[in-house]
């Protein structure tokens, strides 16, 4: 067997078959002639187009080196970016704000405060970016999402709002290498990690990316959730979708699906969450990064009772790089963004539940996976200790996840009742588990692993590719 075929076998076994793929699409973007993404019940997965030949070894080695499904060397990446975190719950930051876009039409259309869209529009208008890689519903078909290179403010605005579907954005890496100018990218945490590893390795396309805007990500869903929602409302598989929005209308927004037969079906954000356990993207249980710690700028919903009452759309915004801090300052001064600085403690309190889910929960879930003898992603740090009470809560999370594996149960859950019921369960669960989930969270100490072999592998991989080229 050739070295390339052997490497693909390891990749397939350790990442794909073991369920550790994070669906970022980087392996396909680096090897478009060899690999393609195939839609499966558990998300898009890389598959061979043909047998690997010896000349594929360079591209495969790079894909293997930067695959977030094997883990992410966070400490080395932070160091490489010159950003050592003071706070491992949030990652490195320069300043944290609450805010929203001044342009009401951007703010109202967006997922939370429209900060990401306003920023991308500004980068295009000031010609600092030639294009922005974003995700948009309705291009391939009215109900499917895909990554697209937006070259005008109109195209960026058309792609605003969150899409709760796993989209392998980085399969478009090759296209980035062909661009003349710099590009801004909206990347989910695992995609941002792959980009940073590729940049460290010297990959040309990744180096075109001069700005990474990163949404916070709690959980994501596999494709199929929308059809399950429609099935629950008695819509047959043959009825076509005319348009789909995940965060339509007043913040926090509603799922709105318009059908070809003239009907429109809607569910408020906290109601359609009943789909999450059944279509939960498994990798979002396994990553400790909620706030998109490797992005230049991270943005989440600003969940705070007074802001929720005020409505309109509010974001929590973390400037991590100098470029992000400068850009926010400039946009604020130009009256394009409203920003109010807040402390890290307030940002943590706003999302303590999800931060705990990732910073302690993910490590407990990984321990369990390792006990079952399955490969686990390695992150280069871990919490020094997790209280027994928190471990007990994780058992209940495990039960929810297990129930969610039985999608057939959805047939028995009429969405009219399931939505409100789920919203109630969610509120009750948050209230009951709050004391345990918050206890000791802020004081959690993290053990940082010494330099890893993985880091050397990343730095060497690109060198191998370029040396292998004739």
Restricted to residues 215-254, the positions that interact with ligand FAD (CB under 6 A) are: 215-218, 220
Q: Which stretch binds ligand FAD (CB under 6 A): 43-51, 111-119, 304-312, 422-430?
A: 111-119
158 in Cβ contact with 132 (< 8 Å): no
Task: Encode 243-281: b = buried (16+ Cβ within 10 Å), e = exposed.
Answer: ebbbbbeebbbbbbbbbeeeeebebbbbbbbbbbbbbbb
- Does position 299 interact with ligand FAD (CB under 6 A)? The reply is yes
Q: Are 103 and 63 in contact (CB under 8 A)?
A: no
- Please give the residues from 367 up to 396 whose contact with ligand FAD meets the rule CB under 6 A: none
**162 part of the interface to ligand FAD, by CB under 6 A:** yes
46-54, 156-164, 431-439, 457-465 -> range binding ligand FAD (CB under 6 A): 156-164
300 counts as binding ligand FAD under rule CB under 6 A: yes
Q: Is 170 in the site for ligand FAD (CB under 6 A)?
A: no
Q: How many residues bind ligand FAD (CB under 6 A)?
A: 31
Site for ligand FAD in 189-218 (CB under 6 A): 215-218
**CA neighbor of 352 nearest in space, from 444, 229, 470:** 444
Q: Is 169 in the site for ligand FAD (CB under 6 A)?
A: yes
Per CB under 6 A, 134 contacts ligand FAD: yes
- In sign, the C-alpha dihedral spanning 116, 118, 121, 126 is negative
CB of 247 to ligand FAD, least distance (A): 7
Among 34, 135, 275, 297, binds ligand FAD (CB under 6 A): 135
Cα 133 from chain centroid (whole Å): 14
Query: Rounded to the nearest whole angstrom, what is the least distance from the CB of residue 136 to ligand FAD in the complex?
Result: 6
Tell me the CB-side half-sphere exposure of residue 250, using CA atoms within 13 A: 6
| Under rule CB under 6 A, residue 116 binds ligand FAD | yes
Output the smallest distance, CB 380 to ligand FAD, in A. Answer: 24
37 sits near ligand FAD (criterion: CB under 6 A): no
CA dihedral sign, ordered 99, 100, 101, 102? negative
**Token duo for residue 463:** 């060198």
* Phi, psi for 259 (deg, rounded to 5): -105, 160
Using alpha carbons only, give the angle 14, 19, 22 rounded to the nearest 5 degrees: 95
Decide if 219 contacts 246 (C-beta within 8 A): no
CB of 223 to ligand FAD, least distance (A): 11
Residue nearer to ligand FAD on the CB measure, 14 or 321: 321
- The binding site for ligand FAD (CB under 6 A) comprises 110-117, 134-136, 159-164, 167, 169, 186, 188, 215-218, 220, 299-301, 315, 354
């Amino acid at each position: 067997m050739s070295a390339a075929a052997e490497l693909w076998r390891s990749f397939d076994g350790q990442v794909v078959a073991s369920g550790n793929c994070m669906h970022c699409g980087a392996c396909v973007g680096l090897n478009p002639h060899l690999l393609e993404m195939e839609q499966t019940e558990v998300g898009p997965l890389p598959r061979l187009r043909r047998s690997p030949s010896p000349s594929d070894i360079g591209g495969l080695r790079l894909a293997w080196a930067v695959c977030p499904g094997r883990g992410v060397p966070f400490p080395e990446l932070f160091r490489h970016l010159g950003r050592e975190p003071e706070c491992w719950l949030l990652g490195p930051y320069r300043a944290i704000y609450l805010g929203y876009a001044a342009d009401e039409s951007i703010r109202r259309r967006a997922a939370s405060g429209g900060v990401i869209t306003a920023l991308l529009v500004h980068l295009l208008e000031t010609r600092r970016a030639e294009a922005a890689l974003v995700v948009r519903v309705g291009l391939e078909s009215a109900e499917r999402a895909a990554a697209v290179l937006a070259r005008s403010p109109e195209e960026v605005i058309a792609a605003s709002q969150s899409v709760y579907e796993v989209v392998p954005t980085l399969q478009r890496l090759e296209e980035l290498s062909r661009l003349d100018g710099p590009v801004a990218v909206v990347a989910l945490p695992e995609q941002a990690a792959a980009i940073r590893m590729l940049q460290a390795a010297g990959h040309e396309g990744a180096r075109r990316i001069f700005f990474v805007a990163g949404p916070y990500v709690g959980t994501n869903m596999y494709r199929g959730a929308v059809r399950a929602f429609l099935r629950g409302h008695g819509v047959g598989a043959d009825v076509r979708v005319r348009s789909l929005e995940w965060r339509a209308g007043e913040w926090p927004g509603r799922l709105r699906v318009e059908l070809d037969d003239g009907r429109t079906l809607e569910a408020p954000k906290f109601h359609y969450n009943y789909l999450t356990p059944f279509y939960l993207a498994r990798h979002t249980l396994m990553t400790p990064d909620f706030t998109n710690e490797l992005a230049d700028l991270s943005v989440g919903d600003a969940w705070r009772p007074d802001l929720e009452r005020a409505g309109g759309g509010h974001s929590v915004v973390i400037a991590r790089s100098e470029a992000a801090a400068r850009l926010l300052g400039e946009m604020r001064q130009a009256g394009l963004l409203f920003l109010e600085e807040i402390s890290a403690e307030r940002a943590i309190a706003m999302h303590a539940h999800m931060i705990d889910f990732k910073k302690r929960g993910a490590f407990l879930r990984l321990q369990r996976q390792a006990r079952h003898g399955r490969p686990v992603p390695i992150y280069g740090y871990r919490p020094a200790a997790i209280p027994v009470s928190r471990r007990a809560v994780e058992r209940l999370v495990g039960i929810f996840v297990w129930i969610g594996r039985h999608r057939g149960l959805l047939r028995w859950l009429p969405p009219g009742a399931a939505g409100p019921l789920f919203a109630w369960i969610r509120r009750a669960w948050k209230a009951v588990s709050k004391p345990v989930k918050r206890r000791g969270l802020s004081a959690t100490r993290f053990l940082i692993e010494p330099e890893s072999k993985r880091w050397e592998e990343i730095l060497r991989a690109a060198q191998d590719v370029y040396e292998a080229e004739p």
